[in-house]
Chains A and B, each alone.
Chain A
Amino acid sequence: EDKVVQSPLSLVVHEGDTVTLNCSYEVTNFRSLLWYKQEKKAPTFLFMLTSSGIEKKSGRLSSILDKKELFSILNITATQTGDSAIYLCAVASHNFNKFYFGSGTKLNVKP
């Protein structure tokens, strides 16, 4: 059965801390891994990773994929209260016909 597992389930940090969120997957016919940030309702797209070992970076956020060990990490440096959200990991498979989401990591950044 295809699955995406995220850890930790929730995390509480203080502003300025650095956090690492994990996503592991067991999905046949893997194509890409995607990260989303979900505040309130609608997830917003952060990154798409297709190749191993190539870091994607956007401001204080960065992510990398390891296709051999079947996992990805999302790093957030110098966290701010605005980073508080649920971070979702998704895997695209079968030529982008199927998408599997993890349950998310709930990040709470305290002032």
Chain B
Amino acid sequence: EAGVAQSPRYKIIEKRQSVAFWCNPISGHATLYWYQQILGQGPKLLIQFQNNGVVDDSQLPKDRFSAERLKGVDSTLKIQPAKLEDSAVYLCASSRDRAEGQYFGPGTRLTVT
């Protein structure tokens, strides 16, 4: 079974630029999550999708972050414009059901200069 795929693995941008991350969950997993993990901290949930609907996006900074999962499979997370404090690893995870453990992708390390 293929794992959660994410791209790119690394990205360096200047502040005020925009960036997009892509995630393809494990086949058949209805729930998809985006997390932000700042160095030395635990992951912070940004948004949770159930199929193509948003379950929770209460911690997503909506003035600059957006996410979509239009066909209920893969997902894109966008930051526009980026700030220095957005430097972090962005993790995508999926689960077959929300009441089960999550499977994480390798993450994208974003550096904003």
Contact = CB atoms under 8 A, between A and B. Distances in A.
B62 to A, nearest CB: 17
For the side of the interface on B, what is the size category? 20 to 34
Given A32-B99, A48-B101, A97-B55, A42 B41 contact: no
Contacts, number: 56
The secondary structure that dominates the A interface is strand
Contacts of B100: 48
A45 B106 contact: no
Nearest to A43: B104
Contacts of B89: 41
B42 A88 contact: yes
B55 A42 contact: no
Given A88-B43, A97-B48, A42 B58 contact: no
B42 A98 contact: no
Contact of B107 (A41, A97, A102, A104): A41
For the side of the interface on A, what is the size category? 20 to 34
Contact of B45 (A46, A99, A102, A104): A99
Given A42-B104, A97-B55, A103 B45 contact: no
Nearest to B6: A42
A4 interface: yes
Given A32-B99, A96-B98, A96-B99, A101 B43 contact: yes
A34 interface: yes
A44 interface: yes
